[in-house]
Each structure stands twice: as structure tokens, then as C-alpha cells.
């Protein structure tokens, strides 16, 4: 019903530019149309002589092209306005579906909503004191005080992160004076704790090893699958946990690693496997390394609990160091959330141990490029805390003592839980509680039994039966044992 607008461009240049599509567009308000310039009108006026026209020929073509381009843009904008007007009652985001609650963090939300005074939150892997309160390490407070006195600024860090931190974290992983460090074969980029480090590593795999599959243990930390999926990396699982023995399924693990295509990436938990707490022995690690060497697989270690599992930084780094000694090129994601209690600071690193210094330089450049697009550069506060503690001999020794204290408290409640469970049901083998290591215990409870733990006993945990012993106090072990025994017997 509306009359199509008159194109402001002279018909001669519209024809020359084959711009007939303009006249098929919806109505455009005249106010949106570009006005023809006097020079353009002059160039197209019939009174201009041939000689004069030739003087403007170049100008005419150039201006015609510009005017036609403007018409296209105005027409497109008009179509957008008309389209929005026609669909103004419908939101662009109407089709977005509600995402499910995070399987780990969602437990905390449910716990907070519970008003029962007996409630226990054993879902999130965060250390708590005997009074079940968050704990800030003494060395962290001291490092922060030094930083405050130094009056440090808040300038951006380089993309690669704080150099002092990167140097310190590589040494913590491999050991001071390690040949790979001395020879410059370690590419290290500070990242956003373990999750961010894994995500940078996943993006690196996607870009430089396209089509390569990452193999994850079954079960594994709940976020591993999300990280690799969102990076566009295909993942599959290898057997790891034996439900019958509540221990390691070494035979199944080795069979699945053997069946993986040569050159696959195998994600390994450096220590304190999450969620099972089941780690290979040194002899079992040797068998895994032998097979991976044969299959030319790439080890990718997730090290989230160094020093927090056994209380020893060196012991907990044993698997990583062993693979490097065997001549593997490896990838390692590190986190300082647990061992320094820097949960909110998001301190971690992505490391790649390469065959040469030249390769490490190139890998570093690409890790930086990936990080730049994700978060530009990492936060400084937590990195300075970690670097200060690791570099200072006095603070470092105190940190070791605090880690021993934290891991010691977890070992203590682990023993108490075993004792209480044995009293309640001496016929059942509860030895897995003591054999597992780190902050978690994989109880073997079924989803229905976990539901009973929550609905009847107000104990919150992940649906796979994992409990965080870091959130358990000595005073609550008997109560937890009663709930576990009841769930096994009656559900």
C-alpha cells in the first residue's frame, strides 16, 4: 500500500551500477535517505556539455558508487527497523532454556536453604577448620601484609602473567634446578586457577591437534567434560574406578589406553584423584607410562592438590616428575586454590614441558595468544601471594607446616570415620576409606542412597557418592557414619 521511495541516486549511475534491487526494498523514510550533493547533480544534469561531463567522469563514477553504498546501508537499516517492529512482542532470548544447576555448586545452594541444625555440607572441595569455618593460611596473611607495605600498584600483568610466579610454579612442579627448567624447555602461562588452565590447554589441543580425542577417567571431576566440550575437543572415557573393590581398575585402565588411537591425549590426575581419592601406586604409574610411551600418547596432568594430599609437595608431584624423567613431553594444569587456600583469587598455571627451548618459546607464544582472546591477562593479587610465599624460605617452611596440618586433620577425620563405620557394621569392608587419599572419599553410595543421606539426615553431597572430608569435623564423624550405615542397610 505504500509507495516505494524515490532513489536519490541519478538513474544513469543506478543503471550503470545495476542497482535495481534498491527499488524492491520496503519503504524508507525520506529523512533516512542520503541527499544528493550539488556536485552529483551537476555531473548528471543534461545541460552539462560533453567536455564538461568528461571532466567529471571519474568523480561521477566514484560518487555514484559511494551513493549506491549509502542507499544499501539505509535500506538494510530500514528493513531491520521494520523487522523489529513486526516482532516487537517477541524477545530475542525467548528460546534460551534454563540450564541445570551445577552438580557441585548446586549442592551448596541446597545446603544453604536447609534450616535443620544437623545439616552438613560435604559437597564442595574446600577446606574447613574443626569448627567447620573457612581457613585463611597464616602465610597468606603475612604475604598480603608485605604486599600492602610495598605499596604495589594495580597495573595490568603481561598476558603470560607474573614472571616471579611462573618461575616459582614451574620449580614447584618439577623441582628446583630441574634440567627442563635450566634448559628453558618449560612453557608456562599464569591462568585462572585449575579451570582456566585446563581451558587454555584444551584450546591449545583444539588448535594444534585438531581431531585428537582427550581421554578422561571414569569417573572424573565434573567440570572436565564441560571444559573440553566447550573448547570443541572430543572426549571419551577410560575405565578407572572398580566399584567392587572401591579401588583402581588398573586392568580396565590399561586396556582402554591401549585401545585409544596412537597420539591421543590422556588426562591424568597428578595426585588425590577427584572424585575417588584412588591413586595409582608407583609400580602402577610405571605400567601406565610404559603403555603411553608405546602408544605415543600425550600426558595431560591436572594437578589441583599438590602438597594438600599427602602433606608433601615433592611426594604429590611424583607422578608428573616421573613422566618427565621418562622423556615425555607433557601438559600440566596447576591450581593454588587448595594448597594455599586461594579459592577466590583464581591462581593457577598452564605448563607444557617441551623437547627443546625453541619449541617452548613457540608454545608460549601460542598459549599467550589463546589467553589474550579469553581473558587478556590474569589477576595479580593471588599470584603475588603465591610467588612471595614460594620465594621466601621462612614463609615457604611455614607453608609446608600448614599443609601438613590441613592434610593431617583430613587424615584424622578419615580414621575416625573408618572407626565409627566399623563399630556400626563390622561385617562390611570399610578399608577403602583409609586407602583413599586427599580431601575426598568415594563412598560407593548409589543415587538413591545419596537421596536418603540428604532427605533424612540433611547431609549434602554429590550424587555420585563423593564426600568432602575437608568439610567434616571430628565431632560430626559419628553422625555421618550413622547416616552412611543407614543408607547402605535400608536403601
Radius of gyration for the alpha carbons in the chain, expressed in angstroms and rounded: 32
**What SS3 class is residue 323?**
helix
Q: In this structure, what C-alpha cell is assigned to residue 246?
A: 572401591
Query: 214-218 and 235-239: which strand pairing?
Result: parallel
Three-class SS of residue 429? coil
Q: What are phi and psi of 192, to 5 degrees?
A: -90, 80
Q: How far is CA 481 from CA 267, 453, 486, in A?
A: 33, 11, 8
Beta bridge partners of 302: 269, 333
Per-residue cell: 250: 588398573
Taking the CB of residue 66, how many other CB atoms lie within 10 A of it? Answer: 14
Residue 427 makes CB contacts below 8 A (sequence gap 6+) with: none
β-sheet bridge partners, residue 191: 348
Picking from 59, 56, 63, the residue whose alpha carbon sits closest to that of residue 17 is: 63
pLDDT by residue, tens only, the chain of 491 residues: 444 445 444 444 444 444 334 444 444 444 444 444 433 333 444 443 444 344 334 445 455 555 656 655 665 565 555 454 445 578 889 999 998 878 777 888 889 999 999 999 998 888 999 999 999 999 999 999 999 999 988 999 999 999 999 999 999 999 999 999 999 999 999 999 999 999 999 999 999 999 999 999 999 998 999 999 999 999 999 999 998 888 999 999 999 999 999 999 999 999 999 999 999 999 999 999 999 999 999 999 999 999 988 889 999 999 999 999 999 999 999 999 999 999 999 999 999 999 999 999 999 999 999 999 999 999 999 999 999 999 999 999 999 999 999 999 999 999 999 999 999 999 999 999 999 999 999 998 999 999 999 999 999 999 999 999 999 999 999 999 999 999 999 98
Rounded Cα distance between 369 and 489, Å, is: 55
What is the pLDDT, as a whole number, of residue 89?
A: 74
Is beta strand 440-442 parallel, antiparallel or unpaired with respect to 466-468? antiparallel
- Closest by CA to 288, choosing from 326, 317, 315, is 326
Contact 241, 275 (CB under 8 A): no
* pLDDT value, residue 109: 87
Contacts of 237 (CB under 8 A, 6+ apart): 215, 216, 217, 218, 220, 256
CA–CA separation, 79 and 35 (whole Å): 20
Query: Rounded to whole angstroms, how far apart are CA atoms 95 and 225?
Result: 25
Alpha-carbon dihedral 413, 419, 424, 427, rounded to 10 degrees:
130
Q: What is the pLDDT of residue 64?
A: 55
Catalytic residue positions, numbered: 221, 302, 338
475 sits in which H/E element: none
In this structure, the dihedral spanned by the alpha carbons of residues 285, 241, 348 and 289, taken in order and rounded to 10 degrees, is 20
Beta bridge partners of 266: 215, 299
Please tell me the predicted confidence (pLDDT) of residue 152: 87
Integer Cα distance of 60 and 41 in angstroms:
10
Are the beta carbons of 466 and 489 closer than 8 angstroms?
Answer: no
Of 128, 120, 218, nearest to 461 (Cα)? 120
Which residue(s) pair with 236 in the sheet? Answer: 215
pLDDT of residue 19: 39
CA distance from start to end of the chain:
72
Spatial separation of the C-alpha atoms in residues 199 and 207, rounded to whole Å: 12
Give residue 36's pLDDT: 42
Residues in Cβ contact with 448 at an 8 Å cutoff, skipping those fewer than 6 apart:
491
Count of all residues that appear for the chain in the document: 491
User: In the 8-state DSSP scheme, what is residue 134?
Assistant: B
Strand boundaries in 292-345, DSSP class E = 298-303, 330-335
Q: Output the pLDDT for position 101.
A: 78
DSSP states of 205-256: HHHHSTTPPEEEEES--HHHHHHHHHTT--EEEEE-EETTTTEE-HHHHHHH
202/48 Cα distance (integer angstroms): 67
Q: What's residue 72's pLDDT? A: 58
Instruction: List, as own/partner pairs, every contact residues 403-409 make where C-beta atoms lie below 8 angstroms and the sequence separation is at least 24, other chains included.
Output: 403/307, 403/308, 403/311, 403/313, 403/339, 404/311, 406/127, 406/135, 406/308, 406/311, 406/470, 407/307, 407/308, 407/309, 407/310, 407/311, 408/311, 409/130
Beta bridge partners of 214: 235, 265
Buried b (16+ CB within 10 A) or exposed e, 274-299: bbbbbbbeeeebeebbebbeebebbb
Q: Are strands 347-353 and 186-192 parallel, antiparallel or unpaired?
A: antiparallel
At 11, list the grid cell: 538513474
CA distance 237 to 295: 17
Amino acid at each position: 500500500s505504500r509507495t516505494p521511495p524515490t532513489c536519490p541516486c541519478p538513474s544513469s549511475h543506478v543503471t550503470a551500477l545495476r542497482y535495481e534491487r534498491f527499488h524492491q526494498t520496503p519503504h524508507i523514510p525520506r529523512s533516512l535517505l542520503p541527499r544528493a550533493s550539488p556536485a552529483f547533480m551537476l555531473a548528471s544534469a543534461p545541460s552539462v556539455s560533453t567536455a564538461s561531463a568528461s571532466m567529471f567522469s571519474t568523480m561521477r563514477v566514484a560518487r555514484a558508487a559511494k551513493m549506491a553504498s549509502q542507499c544499501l546501508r539505509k535500506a538494510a537499516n530500514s528493513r531491520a527497523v521494520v523487522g523489529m517492529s513486526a516482532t516487537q512482542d517477541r524477545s530475542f532470548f525467548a528460546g534460551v532454556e534454563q540450564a541445570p544447576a551445577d552438580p557441585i555448586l548446586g549442592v551448596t545452594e541446597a545446603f544453604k536453604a536447609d534450616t535443620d541444625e544437623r545439616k552438613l555440607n560435604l559437597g564442595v572441595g574446600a577446606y574447613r577448620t574443626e569448627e567447620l569455618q573457612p581457613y585463611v593460611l597464616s602465610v597468606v596473611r603475612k604475604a598480603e601484609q608485605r604486599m600492602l607495605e610495598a605499596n604495589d600498584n594495580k597495573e595490568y600483568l603481561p598476558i603470560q602473567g607474573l614472571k616471579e610466579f611462573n618461575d616459582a610454579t614451574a620449580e614447584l612442579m618439577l623441582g628446583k634446578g630441574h634440567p627442563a627448567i635450566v634448559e628453558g624447555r618449560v612453557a608456562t602461562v599464569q591462568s585462572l586457577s585449575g579451570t582456566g588452565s585446563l581451558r587454555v590447554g584444551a584450546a591449545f589441543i583444539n588448535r594444534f591437534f585438531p581431531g585428537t580425542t582427550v581421554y578422561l577417567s571414569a569417573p572424573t571431576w565434573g567440570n572436565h567434560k564441560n571444559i573440553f566440550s566447550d573448547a570443541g575437543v572430543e572426549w571419551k572415557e577410560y575405565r578407572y574406578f572398580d566399584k567392587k573393590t572401591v579401588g583402581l581398575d588398573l586392568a580396565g585402565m590399561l586396556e582402554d589406553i591401549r585401545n585409544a588411537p596412537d597420539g591421543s591425549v590422556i588426562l591424568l590426575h597428578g595426585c588425590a584423584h577427584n572424585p575417588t581419592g584412588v591413586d595409582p601406586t608407583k609400580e602402577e604409574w610405571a605400567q601406565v607410562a610404559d603403555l603411553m610411551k608405546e602408544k605415543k600418547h600425550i600426558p595431560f596432568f591436572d594437578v589441583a592438590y599438590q602438597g594438600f594430599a599427602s602433606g608433601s609437595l615433592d611426594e604429590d608431584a611424583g607422578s608428573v616428575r616421573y613422566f618427565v624423567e621418562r622423556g615425555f613431553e607433557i601438559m600440566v594444569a596447576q591450581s593454588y586454590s587448595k594448597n594455599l587456600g586461594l579459592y577466590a583469587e583464581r591462581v593457577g598455571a598452564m605448563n607444557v614441558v617441551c623437547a627443546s627451548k625453541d619449541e617452548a618459546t613457540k608454545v608460549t607464544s601460542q598459549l599467550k595468544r589463546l589467553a589474550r582472546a579469553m581473558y587478556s591477562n590474569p589477576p595479580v593479587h593471588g599470584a603475588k601471594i603465591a610467588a612471595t610465599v614460594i620465594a621466601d624460605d621462612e614463609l615457604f617452611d611455614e607453608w609446608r607446616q600448614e599443609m601438613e596440618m590441613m592434610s593431617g586433620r583430613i587424615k584424622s577425620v578419615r580414621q575416625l570415620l573408618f572407626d565409627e563405620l566399623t563399630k556400626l557394621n563390622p561385617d562390611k569392608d570399610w578399608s577403602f576409606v583409609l586407602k583413599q587419599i586427599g580431601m575426598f572419599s568415594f563412598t560407593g553410595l548409589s543415587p538413591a542412597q545419596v537421596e536418603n543421606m540428604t532427605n533424612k539426615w540433611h547431609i549434602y553431597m554429590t550424587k555420585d557418592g563423593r564426600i568432602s572430608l575437608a568439610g567434616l569435623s571430628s565431632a560430626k564423624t559419628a553422625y555421618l557414619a550413622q547416616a552412611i550405615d543407614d543408607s547402605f542397610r535400608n536403601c
